[in-house]
A = this chain, B = another copy of it.
Amino acid sequence: MHAIGVDIGGTKIAAGVVDEAGTILAQTRRQTEPDHAASIDAAIADVYAELSASYEIGAIGLAAAGFVSADRSGVLFAPNIAWRDYPLRDNVARLIGDKVDIVVENDANAAGWAEFRFGAARDVDDMLTLTIGTGLGGAIVSNGELVRGAWGVASEIGHMRVVPGGHYCGCGHEGCWEQYASGSALVRDAQAAVLRDPGRAARLLELAGGSADKLSGPHVTTAAQEGDELAIELLAELGRWIGEGAASATALLDPALIVVGGGVAAAGELLLAPARNGFASQLSGRGHRPEAAIVVAAMGNDAGMVGAADLARL
């Protein structure tokens, strides 16, 4: 059965027809307004109309950045879109006429599921994905099933506290893992390094056009790939936090594989090698247990779309 997967971002949606092997047969996009939830409903109905003209569609999966309700029908809360207890499924169903099953999934869960079914984790039953962009999202698969939790909001792994009294987080707490293991953390650490030691940060500043405010994660990756010492250290620090936090998560979950996706994964071994070291240095019971591998995600930016489509078929 073909399903449509829709990746709902703040200002646009990307939708695709996905077959049972996880292959995207067709894709389309629409602009949306984050403050105007109905514009998203309409855009979804619109892409359905477009894509269902050429393909027989059995289900629609909607990947949403927010807390998804346990029955997968709506969004309890979203940080960047005007959704509060929003009945996304029913609103879309009304617009398209109840023709197919519609399910809502958390976007990081959807992306992780794609890795589990078709990507880097397709050969294991227990895995953890870390989707590291601006923030840090997670997906947990245990014994072949997605861990959704009692109310659908499991895998908010970026808000595991790793430093009491640590960095402020947008969630109102301190010391959340995503404040140490995310693209935002990388950028802030790079900016702090510019303040502390402008001499060593010269190449980073140059890449940022001379302004620390303009520094981005890709600037750090580029500089590191050129051999810039500071940039290599910054990625190593990010990797260390990824690995150390993953060791804590592993104490709970014992995954066979930890998949690192999202923008920062582009740094490859400059990030992964320190992540593996951090993981090994903090894994409890090491030497007395088999050990998860840490690998880069395989599904790229389409992971959310593919995973949402696949979850909608279940």
Specify how many copies of this chain sit in the oligomer: 4
Complex partner residue of A147 from B142, B153, B160, B166, CB under 8 angstroms: B142
Q: Which residues of B contact A188 (CB under 8 A)?
A: 168
Interface residues of A in 130-180 (CB under 8 A from B): 138, 140, 142-143, 145, 147-176, 180
- Residues 279-314 of chain A, each 1 if its beta carbon lies under 8 Å from chain B, else 0: 000101111111010000000000000000000000
Within the assembled complex, what's the spacing in Å between the Cα atoms of A174 and B195?
Answer: 12
Contact with B along A238-280 (1 / 0, CB 8 A): 0000001001110111111100000000000000000000000
Residues A156 and B290 in contact, CB atoms below 8 Å apart: no
Given contacts A150-B126, A254-B150, contact A161 B282 (CB under 8 A): yes
Whether A156 contacts B197 by the Cβ 8 Å rule is no
Q: Determine whether the beta carbon of B67 is less than 8 Å from that of A154.
A: no
Report the separation of the CA atoms of residues A77 and B192 in the bound assembly, to the nearest whole angstrom: 18
B77 touches A289 (CB 8 A): yes
Chain B residues with CB under 8 Å of A77's CB are: 285, 288-289
Contact between chains at A196 and B167 (CB < 8 Å): no
- Of all chain B residues, which has the CB nearest A155? B252
A223 on the B face (CB < 8 A): no
Size of interface on A: residues with Cβ below 8 Å to B: 72
The distance from the CB of A206 to the nearest CB of chain B, in whole angstroms, is 19
Whether the pair A147, B287 counts as a contact (CB closer than 8 A) is: no
Residue pairs across A and B with Cβ atoms less than 8 A apart, 12 shown, are: A142-B147, A152-B254, A154-B253, A156-B252, A163-B165, A165-B167, A165-B175, A166-B166, A167-B168, A169-B284, A176-B284, A197-B287
